[in-house]
Each structure stands twice: as structure tokens, then as C-alpha cells.
């Protein structure tokens, strides 16, 4: 958690992280767990272990994450944010809650593709929301951190190998068909998380060359609540010095800005670029 972070932003991050965790739990309980789709992570390993020792999946996740955190604390120290610990055990709670306390309808159809597809959509959206708040749901992330510390293996590669191994274990514990669907779910989940995160975090940088800077400046600052920077430029053809507006906005704000620019100066020259990350006031505070 960032120091001196406003209380409102802290509360917002925890609320959004909680929503993400609930969506992830719903995807697992409704679609993946009933069909034994072990799509990686602590939940996937818990599904496999449940087939060996029939303890509820949520309880298995409590046990696995407690062991993993304990090992991590011993080996790499306290290297996890409070939000990550909160989200990890909140996910365990909601999985157990929806599975045993408040029984929600589950999909037990014969079409496993539907289970994989809709389970991945829900869990990926939930995990992406959680990740966007600088948090995670623990699990195999902890193992990846340990491997990274001792063997300098890339976190992403290690996570993928661990998750694929869990998918393989599902094939051994249940049958090869379930194992293949589990590995398919892992691949789709990763792609979907990246896609959703891009939509959540993608910012736009806009460069505006116009003869009518003042009203555009006022609109950006007063109406959109954004800051801007003036860059010094010189026309290659006209040789005239001019101030160029440079501003970062959310993608959803782009059409509003373009519409106003065209109304004020139909001849304005506007360059729009996608930015994977923008850090600072009004955007993410850290990666």
C-alpha cells in the first residue's frame, strides 16, 4: 500500500478488489469446480486434492494458502501486501461460502467447453479487477516468488509451468479429457485476463496542435478534470512557434475530447496514441 495514500483511494481499492474476488469465486463455484476443471492456481490444486481426500475445495484452499504463506514468510520474508493476503483468504471464504453455506446453482452439463468458457470469463474478469488494484489472490504466485528468489526464473514462465503441471495432475486424477480441458482453461484464462486488464488500464495520450489553445485547455482542466502539458513546437512549413497540448486521458474520455476539439477548431491536428500504463495523479500510482 502506498504511503500517504488518501483514505478514499484505499477504500476504493479494497471495494474493487472485493468485487473482483467475488466474481472469481462465482466463476469457480458455478462452472469450474463442479466439472473438475483445474485451471491452475491454488483452486486448481485444491480441486485435484479434493479427488484424493474429499475435503471441500474451499477448505483445501485455506490449507494450501496457509502453508504457502508460512513457507514464503520463512524463506523470502514478509514480501506480500496486506491487500494480497486479504484477497487470498477472502477468495477462500467466498468459495467455501458459495459451495457449502449458501448453495448457488452450478453448471453440471455435458458440454465442458461451456464450463471452461463461462468459468474463465467470470474468473478472468474478477482476477483482472483484483490485479488492477495492485493486488493478487496468492496461491501459486507464492511458489513463483520462491523459485524466482532461488533460481532467478521469470515469474510469468514459472507460473505458467506450475499451472500446466496442475492441469496435468487433473488429467491423472480424473481422466485425460479433464486434463486437456484444464490446460485449455489455463490458456484462455491468461489471454482473457490480459485482454480485460488492457481495457481497464489502457490510457490514451493526445497531442493537439491548434490555433485555439485556450478553450481546449479550459475544457480539459475544468470539464474533464485532467491536467495537461504545453510542449514548445515550431511549424516545419510555417516556421511559426506554437504551444502544443499534450494530455493523458482514459480511453472512454477520448470521444468527448475529440468532439469538443472539432467544435472549437475543425482544422486542429490531433494525434492519438494508446499507452499501456500512465502513472501519476488520476491514474495508477504504481505498477
For 145-183, how does the pLDDT look when each residue is reduced to its tens digit (9 = 90+)? 788 777 877 777 888 899 999 999 999 999 999 999 999
pTM as predicted: 0.75
Res. 282: pLDDT tops 70: no
User: Could you tell me the fold of the domain covering 202-275?
Assistant: Alpha-Beta Plaits (3.30.70)
Query: Which pLDDT value is given to residue 140?
Result: 83
Res. 26: pLDDT tops 50: yes
Query: Which pLDDT value is given to residue 240?
Result: 87
C-alpha cell of 159? Answer: 507460473
Query: Which pLDDT value is given to residue 2?
Result: 47
Average pLDDT, the chain: 87
Residue found by looking up cell 504463506 in the block: 69
Choose the weakest-confidence range: 172-186, 203-217, 247-261. Answer: 247-261
CB 125 within 8 A of CB 23: yes
Res. 21: pLDDT tops 60: yes
Query: Which pLDDT value is given to residue 56?
Result: 93
Res. 1: pLDDT tops 60: no
Residue found by looking up cell 491423472 in the block: 172
Residues 6 or more apart in contact with residue 229 via CB below 8 angstroms:
245, 246, 247
Query: Which pLDDT value is given to residue 112?
Result: 93
How far apart, in whole angstroms, are the C-alpha atoms of residue 41 and residue 244? 48
Res. 10: pLDDT tops 50: yes
C-alpha cell of 94? Answer: 467466498
CB 118 within 8 A of CB 31: yes
C-alpha cell of 177? Answer: 479429457
Domains in the chain: boundaries: 7-200, 202-275
Q: What is the mean pLDDT of residues 10-27?
A: 93
Give the whole-number percent of the chain exceeding pLDDT 70: 91
Amino acid at each position: 500500500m502506498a504511503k500517504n495514500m488518501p483514505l478514499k483511494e484505499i477504500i476504493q481499492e479494497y471495494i474493487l478488489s472485493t468485487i473482483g474476488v467475488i466474481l472469481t469465486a462465482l466463476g469457480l463455484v458455478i462452472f469450474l469446480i463442479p466439472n473438475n476443471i483445474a485451471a491452475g492456481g491454488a483452486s486448481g490444486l485444491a480441486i485435484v486434492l479434493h479427488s484424493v481426500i474429499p475435503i471441500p475445495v474451499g477448505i483445501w484452499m485455506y490449507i494450501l494458502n496457509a502453508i504457502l504463506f508460512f513457507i514464503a514468510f520463512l524463506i523470502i520474508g514478509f514480501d506480500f501486501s496486506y491487500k494480497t493476503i486479504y484477497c487470498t483468504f477472502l477468495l477462500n471464504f467466498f468459495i467455501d461460502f458459495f459451495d457449502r453455506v449458501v448453495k448457488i446453482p452450478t453448471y453440471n452439463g455435458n458440454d465442458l467447453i461451456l464450463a471452461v468458457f463461462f468459468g474463465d470469463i467470470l474468473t478472468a474478469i474478477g482476477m483482472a479487477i483484483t490485479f488492477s488494484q495492485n493486488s493478487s489472490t496468492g496461491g501459486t504466485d507464492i511458489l513463483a516468488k520462491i523459485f524466482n528468489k532461488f533460481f532467478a526464473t521469470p515469474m510469468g514462465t514459472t507460473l505458467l509451468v506450475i499451472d500446466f503441471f496442475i492441469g496435468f495432475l487433473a488429467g491423472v486424477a480424473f481422466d485425460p479429457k479433464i486434463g486437456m480441458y484444464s490446460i485449455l482453461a489455463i490458456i484462455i484464462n491468461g489471454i482473457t485476463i490480459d485482454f480485460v486488464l488492457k481495457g481497464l488500464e489502457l490510457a490514451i495520450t493526445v497531442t493537439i496542435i491548434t490555433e485555439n489553445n485556450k478553450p481546449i485547455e479550459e475544457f480539459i482542466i475544468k470539464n474533464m478534470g485532467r491536467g495537461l502539458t504545453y510542449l514548445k513546437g515550431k511549424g516545419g512549413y510555417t516556421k511559426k512557434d506554437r504551444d502544443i497540448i499534450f494530455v493523458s486521458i482514459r480511453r472512454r474520455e477520448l470521444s468527448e475530447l475529440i468532439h469538443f476539439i472539432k467544435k472549437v477548431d475543425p482544422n486542429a491536428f490531433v494525434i492519438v496514441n494508446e499507452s499501456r500504463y500512465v502513472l501519476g495523479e488520476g491514474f495508477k500510482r504504481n505498477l
